[in-house]
Amino acid sequence: MKPLRILLADDHDLLRRGVRTLVEAQAGWEVCAEAVTGREAVEKAKVAKPDIVVMDLSMPELNGLEATRQIRKLLPEVEVLILTLHDSDQLVPEMLDAGARGYLLKSDSERELVVAIQALRRHKSYFTSRVTEMLLQGYLKPPGEEEKASKRGGVLTAREREILQLLAEGKSSKEVATSLNISVKTAETHRANIMRKLNLHSMSALVRYAVRNKIIEP
């Protein structure tokens, strides 16, 4: 049987090394690449073509949800396991919509990480009991006003979501243009469209939106 190839995407070196040690202790498993930003995760996935990506949710430059969307679009056979500190019930359906098949909290046991990867290897979903409970509650309860407001982000294009994160991280329109290899005018147009679509009127409001929706960490 060919080895199970796993890409690790997390900007915390200590946690990434811990997961790597756990993965390499399993017979027939190997870490084929590591990434410290969401954009790097997408690029390395294109080259390494892993079987499974273990993805942190809060990643610089491109968050875990957007990186997952791009990887699944480029490589639909690749399974993605979200490994995160966040236990927001709003994030679980968003993670499913992005194409991830598993969701674990970093507080879960190492044994559950192994079991989750084994499930994804068989193209099966895996959630801990806490996440399953959040998922059920999220579908059963009516959405609150804040949740309704956060859904405005769904009208953004993939490029606009990328730019939203870069702006919320403090980058100027010129820096965004350089990072994405687009013109400054195009970056400014995207910025204006994002503010209009989300009904935001200042950069501080945009940053608060990004923090509230776990696009960036405070």
Identify the H or E element spanning 95. helix 91-98
Q: 211 and 217 in contact (C-beta within 8 Å)?
A: yes
Three-state DSSP class for 185? helix
Task: Please check whether residue 195 lies inside any domain of the structure.
Answer: yes
β partners of residue 55: 9, 82
- Per the structure, the count of domains in the chain is 2
CA distance 74 to 171: 27
Residue-number span of the structural domain to which 161 is assigned: 145-212
Chosen domain end from 140, 163, 181: 140
Q: 74 and 95 in contact (C-beta within 8 Å)?
A: no
Regions of the chain where pLDDT drops below 50: 140, 142-150
Domain holding 206: CATH number? Answer: 1.10.10.10
Give residue 58's pLDDT. 85
CA distance 195 to 198: 5
Give residue 75's pLDDT. 95
| Whether the model pTM is above 0.75 | no
Task: Please check whether residue 121 lies inside any domain of the structure.
Answer: yes
